[in-house]
A and B are shown apart, each in its own frame.
Chain A
């Protein structure tokens, strides 16, 4: 049991530091290790877990299910800590470093340069996700209408997302 927990911790903490651009980057490697190397679950189970966890924020939460299947609740906790711990520590260290340089002229320049990049990435990621295979015409319509409603009106996002859910549930995908 302890050995399994250690394996879980080791595997996910390495993946945590490799997940550039978010968890999606390491999914193939996660599948290979959990299914082919450790034989913790079958390919089919991995796909099911992916489907189950996809709508749950903040991404990469499939690790909870893999941990749970492998070593129960303890496995789930260890997997969660291992997946988010190392990258969070790194984020913390970088944030600290950033704040220590407060007031420097070059930092203000860098911050101003960062703004349009972050804005571009925000919009671009939305478009990139929408362009995946599953996004059919109805889903595109919902995305476009939501984009317009939420950028032009003060409607509550939950109301709009609920509306999107109802529309697609009624029309059937």
Chain B
């Protein structure tokens, strides 16, 4: 062996790369130690063998392909592929195939470690991509010139597309001018300063304002130059909305005038607003963890708690007016509503109770009711007083006549000589007067009798029709014309029909009397109905000669009459009936051409006749 060859062999033996020499028939002629080491083989396994014998099919065919390419081109050929060892390990070899005088030198560099590292890196990158796609956040990389270098799926989705639709697009393509400019200036600032930034602001996306919490981080590209930024934005619109809602609710809770108490499933207080402090006197600190039962009257507490539990189970709600004990020891009347708090899956976790202090209102109502009753009694007494005076006078008339007849008879009998027939006549007169007195008493009894009988919902048209068909009115209609003008779709009224009929008969009889008493005109009486707001008005007019103005004032008082045979009870009874129905009766006008009386009744709500 000459020195040159020996020297070369030494060099080749000590190369870090594996070297293998193949002859033209692709048999292995020579290998260096490194090559053997790479493949964990001995020289005997290889020398003189063809590659097909030595290597698995995959490796052999790869090598074969490279050899073919190299011999064809006559040049060096690089290839990177894996070789599979006999024990099926995969080795990533970077090989250089060099044709040389009918032989081929194959130089191999073991890149397995590098390949594993690279593969790991790829896998990691894939994992990152997946991660970035799976977070709900918007993640993108934007260059300072506004170009999107990366955009994750959620971001693309929010923009209405797929990531590939937006890569390479500019900020201005996706957002309205001012918004794009705004975002770019933030990105540029971060890139320039090299420090990240956190921004919360609204952005117009697809025509909708959404709120984002955005982190912008400077991103180093290959090389030290920073020219892009990583933008991670969290859509906090819903969150923000919920937060605002909570804030609003908290504000309502805090400022509500009503006392609001939250209890847990053990009926212990977990929250207590200032309103509750106002209503019950206890502070939140005093009440947290305690049972609201202590607010109830001692004898009621347990009952109420049970009642609430039952009612919530049955109706999902409990509401009542209860008497409670204020911290200062006074009793308060509270209007309370308790509703359950449930989790999404329907589990009952506590109650909310809203309490309104209605003590003043209840007391005021009681006071008003008392006052009303007092007034009613007072006016009743006054009416009674007026009536008693009228009654005395009115009764005196028949009683005076009665006693005069009887005394006159007595005197004649005592004197003797009077014909019995004359006495009889006087006695009959006396009886008539006694009956008259009794009629007055009956009239008074009717007047002071409380409103009895059923009130029904009736149509006034029907009542009027019935009244004008009564014998009493029919007789009158022979003497004077009756004109009836009824308004269309008159609301119904809730009345005691008999009593309202009585009012109508009375007013009609009066009107007929007035009309027929006046000579020189064709007498008529007119009945009219009308609607005035929520009231139904009935007016009855005649063309008589009117009422003396001096007497108008006492028109509705009992026992005042212009008629020689009247008791003066009619209008007074009318008034008392109509007022009992919540209406009023009045003299609309009266002059020498006629008189009009009218009364109104409240329309029955909601129903049209």
The answer to whether A binds B is no
Binding site for A on B (CB under 8 A): none
Binding site for B on A (CB under 8 A): none
